[in-house]
Amino acid sequence: MKFTRLQLALQTAILAVVFATAGRAEEREVPPFSTRDLQAKIAYCQLCHLPSGQGFRAAFPIPRLAGQQTEYIENQLRAFTERRRLHPIMFTVAHSLNPAMQRAIAEHFRGLNPRPIGGAPKELVAVGKKLYEEGVPDADIPPCVACHGAEAKGNGAIPRLAGQLDDYIINKLTNWNNERGQDPANPDTSAIMQPIAHRLTQAQMAAVAAYLNYLE
């Protein structure tokens, strides 16, 4: 019996070493793409979002990705791929990326922090700041700061809004139901924004977007 117990103890110790070694091997595992492949994908993203990741004003505003939360970018890439969020160009882009590549690209843009490009109407900033910090209680609109933070830099699955193009924010809020939440049975954290986007007036959207546009 003592011998059997000794055997069991040795086997347990051996298994512990094996699993620990395997874990270290996984940590050292080479990513399923080369540095060259990653740089090529990033360069492709930069064609629209610019090398600084600060976005671009065009017929259809292209969002700032610089400083964006890694988890949020990954979640949205999956949403594009699964058609829970509709965008024909981004579906094609996201569909070509495996999860490891998605995370690597997200981490690249997370590490950038250029100054906002600005351009929003400055006369709306004060009203937008009040909306961001206090919401509109009478209209059942909660303060944005409750989720996105005092500096509007987000957290995890909650996106950074600081420095975002104002026309992009207005466009997304206005068209929320047409683009987001296309699979109600498989929602993500953005579902909380649906009723808020629905209750905001165009003037309120423009004001809060102007305030966020100038935040660094």
| Distance spanning both ends of the chain, measured CA to CA | 69
Look at residues 130, 127, 142, 153 and name the one whose alpha carbon lies nearest to residue 70. 153
| Confidence band of 8 (pLDDT split at 50, 70, 90) | very low
Does pLDDT of 101 surpass 90?
yes
Does pLDDT of 20 surpass 90?
no
Predicted confidence (pLDDT) per residue in 41-72, tens digit:
999 999 999 999 999 998 889 999 999 999 99
Residue 32 pLDDT: 80
Residue 194: strand pairing partners: none
Residue 58 pLDDT: 86
The full set of domain ranges for the chain reads 35-110, 122-213
Does pLDDT of 7 surpass 60?
no
Predicted confidence (pLDDT) per residue in 112-148, tens digit:
999 999 999 999 999 999 999 999 999 999 999 999 9
CB–CB of 85/180 below 8 Å?
Answer: yes
Residue 22 pLDDT: 42
How far is 159 from 182, CA to CA, in rounded Å? 19
| DSSP for the chain, written as a single string | -HHHHHHHHHHHHHHHHHHHHHHHHHHTPPPSS-HHHHHHHHHHHHHHH-TT---B-SSSPBPP-TT--HHHHHHHHHHHHTTSS--HHHHHHHHT--HHHHHHHHHHHHT--PPP---S-GGGHHHHHHHHHH-BGGGTB--THHHH-TTS--BTTBPP-TT--HHHHHHHHHTHHHHS-S-TTS--GGGGHHHHHHH--HHHHHHHHHHHHT--
Predicted confidence (pLDDT) per residue in 175-192, tens digit:
999 999 999 888 888 899
Other C-beta atoms closer than 10 Å to the C-beta of 96 total 11
When mean pLDDT is compared across 29-33, 71-75, 107-111, 139-143, the lowest value belongs to 29-33
Supply the CATH classification number for the domain 122-213: 1.10.760.10
Predicted confidence (pLDDT) per residue in 150-162, tens digit:
999 999 999 999 9
- Give the residue carrying structure tokens 């950074």: 160
One fold for both 35-110 and 122-213?
yes
Residue 30 pLDDT: 57
| Confidence band of 31 (pLDDT split at 50, 70, 90) | low
Residue 89 pLDDT: 93
CATH topology of domain 35-110: Cytochrome Bc1 Complex; Chain D, domain 2 (1.10.760)
Does pLDDT of 214 surpass 50?
yes
How far is 208 from 203, CA to CA, in rounded Å? 9
Q: Which residues of 72-92 are buried (b: 16+ CB within 10 A; e: fewer)?
A: bbbbbbbbbbeebbeeeebbe
For the chain, what percent of residues have pLDDT higher than 90?
Answer: 79
How far is 166 from 168, CA to CA, in rounded Å? 5
pTM of the model: 0.83
